[in-house]
Structure 1
């Protein structure tokens, strides 16, 4: 991989990185509030930022409630295994209210927060974006270009998948 973007370290750094081919856990009969403490609400309660209640990791995540998510969407999202694409951390299904939630890695910066950049940094960002989009094209996933963000290690990540139309 090429040079990483170097910026100030984030508030919460996860020490143990999960293998990119590890299975994505799915919790039935359980709400994400049982594992994550809410910090910031977004999109009228359908999305929020939370922090894991486990004292060792205290990982920040973005939790999104989906309306009637199909199993095929979950399967496609769990197949993503590229360093430049945000992969779900876990799935939650609450049977009482028929609610479905996806937990994603929380990304601290938007790519536009990095400006101004040197030409070498722009080249590095573009290589990572193209690599991520090439992987998604192979999976036939549609992603918006306005949601390219940077994690705490300086790796560019593409997030928020939408169902192909």
Structure 2
């Protein structure tokens, strides 16, 4: 019996390996931390607790953090911060890793990488493939998403900074003397 469409590895989207550099990953992390802080404050206020984390809200906050990282990384290969930065987490074949790989990457890998005084995260700067310890544990890579799939940076009226405007002037105003 043939397998249903979308379940074979050859039909999944594969991304090229252009490794994401440290600063792009840091940018994505800053965006994610900002979003997580907003989410945690809102959830804590709704549940009647203090807006900021305390010992009584710590388990809830950890659950939100891990859920955010595992679900976004496992399902889409990108957290919202990675989407903004134009990077994606992939496995050895260039596919989105899935939740089964995201769990050890985010739970075990980040704990080990952070527990060693952040050395596992700083390792990204020195590794040839820009992998942190959490990436090495899970066998994942963070790569640049192809330009065609990145969100466009648009300004006012769709004008992108650095692009030339099409300035058609059908008439010129002249000063009358």
Classify the TM-score, shorter chain: under 0.3
Give the number of the structure whose residues are more often helix, by fraction. Answer: 2
Over alpha carbons, which structure has the higher Rg?
2
Q: TM-score, normalization: structure 2?
A: 0.24
